[in-house]
Amino acid sequence: MSLPSSVRLVEVGPRDGLQNEKQPISVSDKVRLVNDLSAAGLRYVEVGSFVSPKWVPQMAGSAEVFAGIQRSPGVTYAALTPNLKGFEAALEAKVEEVAVFAAASEAFSQKNINCSIAESLQRFIPLMEAARAANVRVRGYVSCVLGCPYDGEIAPAQVAAVARELYAMGCYEVSLGDTIGTGTAGKTRQLIETVAREVPHHLLAGHFHDTYGQALANIYASLLEGISVFDSSVAGLGGCPYAKGATGNVATEDVLYMLQGLGIDTGIDLDRLIDAGARICEVLGKANGSRVARARLASR
Ligand code: HMG
Ligand code: MG
């Protein structure tokens, strides 16, 4: 398959990137990050989550963040919602699009959302109905697609079965999450081949955490399999509170640099993106997780 001429990057830094941070981050710093990202040309930003504050305290202020951001035309501002309660709160905060999240592994489903995979899918049905009535699009995530921190290896057919359910209930796109970043390029290709028998290629996205340093290779492998939507996190921020040791998503700057090298259009300005990443790293007092950003910042 030939490479796509353009790719859509889904920026998950304000959500996946920050959800695991232990230190308090002010609403205004979160707002600034979201605004910086849209100004850099990102057309889709996952701003926060409407989940239980007992489970993920850092996302508790998501409604305030939504109230504070400057909404640029053409940008989708989205949030995670695990159930109807979360969806209703998201709607109140004028979220334009939501995402539900299931897992391909039973153990991870229990640890992350306190129910089985089947129960989680059941829980999404009233949410999907409410979203349809409110004209809100719903994206679906499947976690642990290339390995689980508790169950180990995950069969591609298991991922395909969950992806098929999300697609059948009305998710317009299904993002395949390598939550713990153990996937390799070969396994990624096999996975996509299997899942694409249930959900068409053009409705799949890749969500690679970079724990083992394989994310860019996995994205390239996905491009070869016809995938053209990828989730990434500015400065490589993040991790999942329920996947110990998992690092952040692949850095948006690094993905962008690779795509630019392949002549693939994204509409994003690399320099402005690097500035956005540098600023939030300064706020967090953290080293920048993007190799491209580190190199460029050092040579400025
Ligand atoms: P539960 O404890 O089983 O829920 O949690 P419950 O229905 O029994 O309710 C317990 C309490 O939570 C009640 O409050 C509810 O009102 C409240 P109380 O009466 O005790 O005061 N509650 C809520 N509050 C706010 N918003 C809500 C909500 N729902 C219930 N939406 C639940 C179940 C799903 C709520 C919980 O497990 C949860 O919030 N989990 C979220 C975990 C999470 O956000 N994980 C990180 C995101 S997933 C991820 O990072 C992976 C991804 O990036 C892809 C990848 O990398 O693979 C997407
Ligand atoms: Mg993730």
What pLDDT digit, counting tens, does each position of 106-138 carry?
Answer: 999 999 999 999 999 999 999 999 999 999 999
CB 292 within 8 A of CB 253: yes
pLDDT at 243: 73
Report which of 84, 121, 98, 122 is spatially closest to residue 46, judged by C-alpha positions.
98
pTM: 0.98
Q: What is the pLDDT of residues 60-81, one digit of tens each?
A: 999 999 999 999 999 999 999 9
Q: What is the pLDDT of residues 224-256, one digit of tens each?
A: 999 999 999 999 998 666 777 778 999 999 999
Determine if ligand 1 sits within 6 Å of the CB of residue 238. Answer: no
Task: Tell me the ligand closest to 108's alpha carbon.
Answer: 1
SS3 per residue for 82-109? CCHHHHHHHHHCCCCEEEEEEECCHHHH
How many CA atoms lie less than 13 Å away from 248 in the CB half-sphere? 26
Q: Give catalytic status of residue 115 as yes or no.
A: no
Rounded CA separation 14/62 (Å)? 10
Determine if ligand 1 sits within 6 Å of the CB of residue 124. Answer: no
pLDDT at 247: 84
pLDDT at 238: 87
- Asked if pLDDT for residue 270 goes beyond 80, the answer is yes
pLDDT at 244: 78
* CATH class, 8-299 region: alpha beta
Helices 215-224 & 252-261, crossing angle to 10 degrees?
40
Rounded CA separation 172/168 (Å)? 9
The residue whose CA is least distant from atom 56 of ligand 1 is: 179
CA of 90 to the centre of ligand 1 (A): 13
Q: Could you tell me the residue ranges of all domains in the chain?
A: 8-299
CA of 27 to the centre of ligand 2 (A): 21
pLDDT at 246: 75
Rounded CA separation 262/57 (Å)? 39
Determine if ligand 1 sits within 6 Å of the CB of residue 44. Answer: no
